[in-house]
Amino acid sequence: MTNPISQSAAALSQDQLKTLVGQAALQYVVPGEIVGVGTGSTVNKFIDALAGMKPLIKGAVSSSQASTLRLKALGIAVFDANDVTELSVYIDGADEIDGHGNMIKGGGAALTREKIVAALAKQFVCIADESKLVQTLGRYPLPVEIIPMAAQQITQRFAALGGQAQVRLVGGEPLVTDNGQILLDVTGLVITDPLAFESQVSQWPGVVTVGVFAFQKAQVCLLGTAQGVKTLIF
């Protein structure tokens, strides 16, 4: 059987690159401990690989109902975040990551729980294909989880920053998050100071979570590239 890590990455699809980085993330999982697990198609590859380490780990803290279902289906124990005081590592994907480890996240609508689990971890390991690496955050529509009654005023605040906010829909209806709230996706932003931006938007009434991860930025990024998995340390 071919070992995908030794394959020439030049011939690999985006899906195969996700598999590569998902497998590469196993080296950051600490035997005997609980691992923090993110959400998304790249993390799904990590979860599948983690099943092979099942006897070596205590289990996982999950950042979404979707990841919890996948972990449990593979027989991996899922712990409540309230039962854990600290995690060695949190492994998650990103919609964008810059050269300092700041990220935009929430494309999979799980940003609030992702930020909560990331905040428990000593180290955030981001797994992504190279299409996610950017100079400046903002090309990807910024997800923001909000309380529905604040949608109009938050939309106005983003407009004052040059952003256009749209409620995220599924089947023509507002998407409801795992936390029972809704999401705005904001285009037109150029986020030159992610820490200041996250700090500012987080204070607006009705914002549950802004999808800029600067306070909980990545310390490591395993990037799937045409040259193989590159490790970026921030």
Tell me if 94 contacts ligand 5RP by CB under 6 A: yes
CA 141 to chain centre: 14
Site stretch for ligand 5RP (CB under 6 A), options 25-33, 108-116, 146-154, 157-165: 108-116
**Which of 36, 38, 194, 224 touches ligand 5RP (CB under 6 A)?**
38
Query: Could you give the residue numbers annotated as active site?
Result: 114
Site stretch for ligand 5RP (CB under 6 A), options 34-42, 52-60, 163-171, 172-180: 34-42
The dihedrals phi and psi of 92, each to the nearest 5 degrees, come to -155, 160
Cβ proximity of 224 and 17 under 8 Å: yes
Shortest distance, CB of residue 3 to ligand 5RP, whole angstroms? 22
**Using CA of residue 118, residue 148, residue 140, residue 215, what is the dihedral sign?**
negative
Tokens of 139: 């090309």
The dihedrals phi and psi of 183, each to the nearest 5 degrees, come to -125, 140
Q: Which of 55, 110, 95, 94 is nearest to 77 (CA)?
A: 55
Tell me if 163 contacts ligand 5RP by CB under 6 A: no
**Which of 34, 35, 46, 105 touches ligand 5RP (CB under 6 A)?**
105
Contacts to ligand 5RP by CB under 6 A:
38-42, 92-95, 105-111, 114
